[in-house]
Amino acid sequence: MSNPRVARLMEDLFQAINGLVEKHQVTHEEYRAAVAFVNEAAEKGETMLLFDAMLESDIVAANSVESRGTPRQVLGPYYLEDAPWIEDGQLAKPEEEGERLLLSGTVRDVDGSPISGAVLDFWQADAKGRYGAFDLPPRTNMNLRGRMHSGEDGRYALHTVVPAPYTIPHKGPTGRLLEALGRHPWRPAHLHLLATHDGYKPLITQIYFKGDQYIESDAVRAARNDLAFDLQDEGDHKRIDFEVVLEDAV
Ligand code: DHB
Ligand code: FE
């Protein structure tokens, strides 16, 4: 059964590739190297990383045109479903190392009305740039991953630690490709958020820190200055106010 959308996209995709082959007179050797590269990425479990790093930002941008909500960001390869529900917004355990951060604000619709009962699902690297489950085994390690609801007045408060910049895995094919392109593997420090509520479009975003040296050269080309915030000094902790704006579902 023919699917017109698939047919259209695949025709255009191969037209672009065929054009590129012609333009650069791609050799048979180069062709074989390309196939071997894709194969290696798959064998090393890097398919998701490779596509996320090279393409996901563009997918997000293409789908954010005319958005009135909080700017959207890539999901990235480190989201896990079923993160624990956290009590009192405590994402970081007392023994977690790093500078304390209070991230708080209000969840609103595009007209500014508060949205209570939104699910806020946060995940982040630790103060050494390590993700639970991926950099910190075992596979079930839910460190610095947690879900909460926005309150009556749409407000939320997350108690956590400031994450560190992070290199995407660069010892395999994805890293080799970045290097060949003259790109480094660093992502600026960031927190991830997936915010959902019935009747609204799910929002996937990230929060960055002003002054981070990698904002302008993010390995996955996702970071943007309008999502970079000052870490306000509150003595024993830092603070960021972050408003979450959800668009109506269509
Ligand atoms: C990617 C995204 C992340 O948030 C991250 O921490 C690592 C990699 C990515 O898009 O490849
Ligand atoms: Fe990340």
6-21 pLDDT, tens digit per residue, is 999 999 999 999 999 9
pLDDT value of residue 68: 92
pLDDT value of residue 116: 98
Mean pLDDT score, 140-148: 95
> HEC profile for the chain?
CCCHHHHHHHHHHHHHHHHHHHHHCCCHHHHHHHHHHHHHHHHCCCHHHHHHHHHHHHHHHHCCCCCCCCCCCCCCCCCCCCCCECHHHECCCCCCCCCEEEEEEEEEECCCCECCCCEEEEEECCCCCCCECCCECCCCCCCCEEEEECCCCCEEEEEEECCCCEECCCCCHHHHHHHHCCCCCEECCEEEEEEECCCECCEEEEEEECCCCCHHHCCCCCCCHHHEECCEECCCCEEEECCEEECECC
pLDDT value of residue 139: 85
Measured in angstroms, how far is the CA atom of residue 125 from the centroid of ligand 2?
Answer: 7
Measured in angstroms, how far is the CA atom of residue 65 from the centroid of ligand 2?
Answer: 23
pLDDT value of residue 210: 97
Measured in angstroms, how far is the CA atom of residue 186 from the centroid of ligand 1?
Answer: 10
Mean pLDDT score, 81-107: 96
CB 203 within 8 Å of CB 182? no
Measured in angstroms, how far is the CA atom of residue 76 from the centroid of ligand 1?
Answer: 4
Mean pLDDT of the residues in the chain: 96
Establish whether residue 76 lines the binding site of ligand 1, counting it when its CB lies within 6 angstroms of any ligand atom. yes
Model confidence at 87, pLDDT cuts 50, 70, 90, reads confident
Mean pLDDT score, 166-177: 94
Mean pLDDT score, 214-239: 96
pLDDT value of residue 218: 96
**Ligand 1, from 121, 220, 221: best to mutate by most atoms within 8 Å of Cβ?**
220
pLDDT value of residue 119: 98
As residues whose CB is below 5 A from the ion ligand 2, the structure lists 76
pLDDT value of residue 22: 97
Mean pLDDT score, 72-90: 94
CB 135 within 8 Å of CB 145? no
pLDDT value of residue 66: 84
- Give the number of the ligand closest to the Cα of residue 55: 1
| Spatial separation of the C-alpha atoms in residues 44 and 132, rounded to whole Å | 20
Percentage above 70 pLDDT, the chain: 100
pLDDT value of residue 98: 97
Mean pLDDT score, 79-100: 95
pLDDT value of residue 212: 97
Report which ligand 1 atom has the smallest distance to the Cα of 166.
6
pLDDT value of residue 36: 98
**Ligand 1, from 168, 186, 194: best to mutate by most atoms within 8 Å of Cβ?**
168
Measured in angstroms, how far is the CA atom of residue 129 from the centroid of ligand 2?
Answer: 9
pLDDT value of residue 1: 80
**Ligand 1, from 58, 74, 124, 183: best to mutate by most atoms within 8 Å of Cβ?**
74
Mean pLDDT score, 206-218: 97
Measured in angstroms, how far is the CA atom of residue 111 from the centroid of ligand 1?
Answer: 31
CB 187 within 8 Å of CB 223? yes
Establish whether residue 208 lines the binding site of ligand 1, counting it when its CB lies within 6 angstroms of any ligand atom. no
